Structure 1
Amino acid sequence: MLAECKLDTVVFFVASLERSVSFYRDTLGLSVERMDGHDGPFATAQAGPVSMVFIERPARAGESPVVVFSMDAGIDDCAEALAAQGVEIVVPVSEAPDGGLSLDFIDPDGCVLSLYQPPGAARRR
């Protein structure tokens, strides 16, 4: 199922957005952009082909970072296939901050994985 996807984004839940922006920009030298989403402010950075997203939100151990696989279409089909295989879905298909769709699930060790589909893509294949 994920063979056609690519690793696209790593999402970090952070205690202080300002502190994280400063660290990744000033200490690591990444270009960091602050943005406003429908759930509040967040920041993004690019590390080669992988995007990084920073969201101020408390997280328990194992909840952050979230590895995000990008797909062109068919997120609902993937959600059904994962559920049919007994995978625990922790956030059903829902709107992502940029208007796309996302789905969060956990692996056997409790690590959060996510599927992302960009805005305007077909929900089913």
Structure 2
Amino acid sequence: MSFKPKSASIVFYVADIARTEAFYNDTFNLGLMRMEGADPFWLQGRLESGLDLIFFEMEGRRGNTPAVVFDVTEGGIDDIVANLAEKGITIVTPVSEAPGGWSADFLDPDGFGLGLWQSGELPRSLK
């Protein structure tokens, strides 16, 4: 199974979501929106280019970001991750629940973290 991403987001894991919100809104006038689904909340903004910036408050992962997260727009995240594993690609986080759907993380050959995100409305497998 091949996967050709059509869109992506840059995801940041931060120590203080309110501080991050103030910084990016005050410094860059991004107009980040508070989103529900994570505790306490998460932030999302879109650049004019169409690229989404997403911020989660999370302990332990700071400094490993930002990460590029590819959107799985047609479903099949389980199949894609299985295919990556079959090719010997390091899976860091298997398919797991994420706000609004499912996500998984893996490493490229140089150790850079990449991710996948799929809406919960789409089928996890297309087989």
- The TM tier, using the shorter chain, reads 0.7 to 0.9
Structure with the higher fraction of residues in strand conformation: 1
Partner of 1:67: 68
After TM superposition, the score normalised by the length of structure 2 is 0.86
Cα distance in structure 2, aligned partners of 1:15 and 1:38:
14
Structure 1 vs Structure 2: percent identity of aligned residues?
40
Mapped partners of 2:57, 2:118: distance in 1: 22
Deviation (angstroms), 1:119: 2.0
Answer yes or no: is the 8 Å Cα contact 1:7–1:67 preserved in 2.
no
Q: Out of 91, 97, 109, which is 1:89 matched to?
A: 91
2:19 equivalent in structure 1:
19
Indicate how the Cα distance of structure 1 residues 38 and 27 shifts in structure 2: closer, same or farther if over 3 A, else same: closer
Task: Give 1:39 shift.
Answer: 4.4
How many residue pairs are counted as aligned between the two chains?
A: 122
TM-score for the superposition, normalised by structure 1: 0.87
RMSD: 1.6
SS in 1 for 2:41: strand
Give the unaligned 5+ runs of structure 1.
none
Q: Which structure 2 segments of 5+ residues have no match?
A: none
